[in-house]
Amino acid sequence: MPQVATTTTPAELPTEELDWIQMRKDFAGVHAETTKEKMARKISENPLVPIGCAATLTALGFGLWNFRKGRSQMSQYMMRARILAQGFTVIALIIGVGMTYGSKEPAAKK
């Protein structure tokens, strides 16, 4: 026995099913930030973090290269430099978050 599809009128639909339509209208003019835009914004807000990441990566790479070449003394220096660069990066992150948190205005209550 074939089933007959019944159609419902908008007056019969519950409002929960129509909420997405209203949400789409509310956010029609909002620009969604792309990954590149977000990365550029984060780097401009706190440029010390990428510098610290690059320093950490450089010290790690140079330390591993020296370890492979058998220069254990220089490898140890580079591993210590990596720890310092990581500490610098963490401190830069904390300062950046603190500055961002301090500069944001509290949300206005409706």
Tell me if 86 is assigned to some domain: yes
Q: Report the number of distinct structural domains present in the chain.
A: 1
Q: Supply the pTM of this predicted model.
A: 0.62
Q: Is residue 76 part of a domain?
A: yes
Q: pLDDT tens-digit profile of 24-77? A: 777 777 778 889 999 998 888 888 999 999 999 999 999 999 999 999 999 999
Q: Is residue 109 part of a domain?
A: no
CA distance 49 to 98: 14
Residue 86: domain span: 32-102
- Concatenated DSSP letters for 17-51? HHHHHHHHHHTTTPPPPPHHHHHHHHHHH-THHHH
Task: Tell me, yes or no, whether 7 lies in a domain.
Answer: no
Tell me, yes or no, whether 46 lies in a domain: yes
